[in-house]
Amino acid sequence: MGKIKWKPGNMIYPLPAVMVSCGKNEEEHNIITVAWTGTICTNPPMTYISIKPERHSYEIIKRNKAFVINLTTEALLRATDYCGVRSGKNENKGKKMKLNLVNTEEIMAPLIEESPVNILCEVVEIKKLGSHDMFIAKIQSVYVDENLMDGQGKFHLDAAKLFAYSHGVYYSLGEKLGTFGYSVKKKTMGPTKKKKK
């Protein structure tokens, strides 16, 4: 099988498309959709988002040192796309998309109530990289929808109907192929039947 060499570029797909909410009060609230986000440390829990300096949310997040990563679902697909292609300089995207922005006690940024998972982040460093600057943040707390928890306290994120972004296209998540560590997990033997005498 042959290979074709391309110029250097970002081809790490699929990615999450998340709505990032920011602003310390209703007048300042804004939502920006980003795909440049991810986990960078487990202990302490840390994450990042990368934003172009010309985006409206950039100065809001830089000023307040806070943002919320809101996971997105199929039901939020249109709002997710809209908040990525429209600017908060010209309109209130939350109101336009009928999203409820709720202020938090922990940080100076609101969470999106309709999102199944809200990750509250405090900025600890801004790295200038080129086209985008990276906001490195500590995760202060996480809020999850009650209806994703079962009676035993287990979290069922798969029931939220999340979607992924890949090279300009949104995709629903497909069937489960395996679980973490399945490739090395020892097979368990089923119950043995007693032989009849």
Instruction: Please state the pTM of the whole predicted model.
Output: 0.91
Q: pLDDT for 107-143, tens place per residue?
A: 999 999 999 999 999 999 999 999 999 999 999 999 9
Dihedral of CA atoms 130, 107, 110, 172 in degrees, nearest 10, equals 60
Dihedral of CA atoms 122, 123, 124, 129 in degrees, nearest 10, equals 160
102-111, 126-135, 186-195: least confident range: 186-195
Is residue 27's pLDDT more than 90? yes
**pLDDT band at residue 196 using 50, 70 and 90 as cut-offs:** low
Percentages of the chain per state (helix, strand, coil), in multiples of 5: 15, 35, 50
| Cβ–Cβ < 8 Å for 32, 83 | yes
Q: pLDDT for 74-99, tens place per residue?
A: 999 999 999 999 999 989 999 999 99
In the prediction, which pLDDT does 113 show? Answer: 98
Considering only CA atoms, which of 15, 91, 30, 35 is closest in space to residue 64? 30
Is residue 104's pLDDT more than 70? yes
